[in-house]
Amino acid sequence: MSGEHVPAVRAAGIEKSFGTEGVLDGIDLSVAGNEILVLLGPNGVGKTVLLECLAGSSRPTKGDVEIFGRDVSEDGGRNLSFLLQDTMAIETLTGRENIDFYRRMHPGFTDRWEQYLDRLDLSEDLDKAVDDYSAGMTRKLELSLTMSVDAPLYLLDEPTAGVDLSMIQRFHDIILDRYDGGSTFVITSHRPLDAELADRLAFMRDGTITAVGAPSELMDAVPPVIRVSGSGAMRTAESFVRGGRLFRTGATARGFLKPDVEFEELEAAVDTDVEGVRIERDDATHTDLFNFYVHVVEPQRTSGGTPNDDSIEAVVEP
């Protein structure tokens, strides 16, 4: 981080409703110059809506957004490049025609797209219509378009959605190129793997931010993780874990020990002589981090609420 005093992004008291549906419910966020903030949250929590408010393309119902110290409406998008979800590439045009279109639209458009498409193995498909691209190919084109614009601030809405695991590092490398050039990023995702990019992580739940901090700090604050297999053992473990919730990954389930519970108490309560039953401690992964801050930590305004009884959730490892 460069330590600049004026934040690249400052959002204060952001609320956003559509008719009677409240989506954002008091978001405060500050992103420093040359910082990567990764905003994680489940489907439909309001990540895209928040990014649109930060970009000035949607007006909050309440609250203010400043970009580099000026109201976002005054900035007029000059200082940012925004990767939208599924709405950037024009499907009836080829990849190359899309590039020409964006080049004409953005004064800050550079020739970097050439090396990006090469790195993402898309150069040979440039003369195909985007209509014939797969979802991942379209995402490669859209990332290349967004990152070819010279901007001090990039807002990226789920840049790695639909991208296979072998490509994710290349997406990250392209983002890190601009970061090394001094740019600031706000990146939304529900892929725990994208947390690896972050200087700071922010987690969203129920229209608010439940936690924000450096990944190592947030990781240190995660309670001891337990891993359990066997359906009877899982049921027993539910009363020993935070929020009564276990998260399934294949045949095992993971949870977070309650503060007043020792692992040995749980171990003693589970009959480990039964075939297929195992219970052990484990190190926290990025998926655990996501589950803890998104599904277990209650938003402050509802803290003390009753934990959800729907206690075992399927979560796919990245």
Ligand X SMILES: Nc1ncnc2c1ncn2[C@@H]1O[C@H](COP(=O)(O)OP(=O)(O)OP(=O)(O)O)[C@@H](O)[C@H]1O
Q: Binding residues for ligand X, per CB under 6 A?
A: 18, 23, 41, 43-49, 190
Helix (H, G, I), strand (E, B) or coil at 99: helix
Helix (H, G, I), strand (E, B) or coil at 253: strand
Minimum distance of ligand X from residue 210's CB (angstroms): 14
Minimum distance of ligand X from residue 37's CB (angstroms): 15
Q: Name which of 157 and 238 has its Cβ closer to ligand X.
A: 157
CB 45 within 8 A of CB 209: no
Minimum distance of ligand X from residue 70's CB (angstroms): 25
Q: Name which of 85 and 236 has its Cβ closer to ligand X.
A: 85
Q: Name which of 187 and 241 has its Cβ closer to ligand X.
A: 187
d(CA 91, CA 87): 9
Minimum distance of ligand X from residue 169's CB (angstroms): 22
Q: 116 is written with which tokens?
A: 């990006």
What residue ranges in the chain does DSSP mark as E strands?
Answer: 9-18, 21-31, 36-40, 62-67, 70-71, 80-83, 153-157, 184-189, 200-205, 208-213, 225-229, 246-249, 252-256, 278-282, 312-314
Minimum distance of ligand X from residue 44's CB (angstroms): 5
User: Which positions ≥6 away from 156 have C-beta within 8 Å?
Assistant: 83, 143, 146, 175, 185, 186, 187, 188
- Taking residue 133's Cβ as centre, other Cβ atoms within 10 Å add up to 19
- Taking residue 295's Cβ as centre, other Cβ atoms within 10 Å add up to 18
d(CA 207, CA 11): 14
Q: Name which of 41 and 192 has its Cβ closer to ligand X.
A: 41
Q: Name which of 190 and 254 has its Cβ closer to ligand X.
A: 190
Helix (H, G, I), strand (E, B) or coil at 74: helix
Minimum distance of ligand X from residue 43's CB (angstroms): 3
Q: Name which of 40 and 233 has its Cβ closer to ligand X.
A: 40
Minimum distance of ligand X from residue 246's CB (angstroms): 23
What CA–CA distances, in Å, run from 106 to 70, 83, 94, 100, 145? 21, 14, 18, 10, 10
Q: Name which of 18 and 271 has its Cβ closer to ligand X.
A: 18
- Taking residue 65's Cβ as centre, other Cβ atoms within 10 Å add up to 23
